[in-house]
Amino acid sequence: MKTIHFETIDSTNTYLKKNYEKLDNFTFVSADFQSAGRGRNNRNWKSEKGENLLFSLLIKDKTLIDKFSSLSVISAFSIIKALNLKHLSIKWPNDIYYKDSKLCGILLEAVTRNEIECLIIGIGLNVNQREFVGEYKRTPTSLYKITNQTQDMRLLKDKIFNQIYSDFMKVKEAYDFYNDIKEYDYLKDRQVYADINNEVKQIKVIGIDKDYSLKVLNDNELINLSSGEVTLVKY
């Protein structure tokens, strides 16, 4: 495992995209501040300087690259284990929720030439930030908001990096986390809107499936969603 830290950078994901060739497998890059932090679907990821854990992990290992569809869910699970708090769950495929608020977002990107050269798993965990000002569908939460305590960022970072590293080593050795992660399935049995063949449909989620896709009921037919955005239906 290697670690690199920047006080300020555009985005830790972008840094790895530009530099992956000369960096080792399992390099973790973190930053106090990102001037152009990126979220999913071309959204920005804004975070106050030094308040949150912002990092990206470079994966060049072929065995892990082949399992890429499971890795954001497994990263979320590793973080949940490291945090050891109640009411945390994985909102498939890339978020960690505390009750009904987002605590952590994950942006998994693949750099592809003829085949996938590497994966970049970018993680933004809200730690000590107290207020979130901006346009959010639902206001996010942070460890501070949950526990009323300020976290030591270095300790937390070490704990999370070590947990992800050790879990990914197990994945490499063919350990299947499915039975562990399915206990943390936020969307299980909920109604959601999902984009299915370019049409937004209201569907019922059955739950995360063995291959880490999402099993849903669409027009009385069971189908599996492998990527894309699902939004909860509000009542």
Q: How far apart are CA 220 and CA 95, in angstroms?
A: 27
Q: How far is the CB of 173 from ligand BTN (least distance, A)?
A: 27
Q: How far is the CB of 102 from ligand BTN (least distance, A)?
A: 7
Q: How far apart are CA 74 and CA 16, in angstroms?
A: 20
**Site for ligand BTN contains 54 (CB under 6 A):** yes
**Site for ligand BTN contains 58 (CB under 6 A):** no
Q: Which two tokens stand for residue 202?
A: 């209201």
Q: How many chain residues bind ligand BTN (CB under 6 A)?
A: 21
**Which region, judged by CB under 6 A, interacts with ligand BTN, from 10-18, 85-93, 196-204, 211-219?**
10-18
Task: Give the residue nearest to ligand BTN (CB).
Answer: 105
Interface positions, 85-144, toward ligand BTN (CB under 6 A): 94-95, 105-107, 122-124
Torsions phi, psi of 105, nearest 5? -120, 150
Q: How far is the CB of 45 from ligand BTN (least distance, A)?
A: 4
Report yes or no: 120 and 13 within 8 Å, Cβ to Cβ: yes
Strand spans (E) along the chain: 2-9, 27-34, 53-59, 88-91, 95-98, 101-112, 116-125, 191-196, 199-208, 214-218, 221-225, 230-232
Of the two residues 13 and 89, which places its CB atom closer to ligand BTN in the complex?
Answer: 13
Of the two residues 62 and 138, which places its CB atom closer to ligand BTN in the complex?
Answer: 138
Beta strands 101-112 and 214-218 are: unpaired
Footprint of ligand BTN (CB under 6 A) = 11-13, 34, 37-40, 43, 45, 54-56, 94-95, 105-107, 122-124
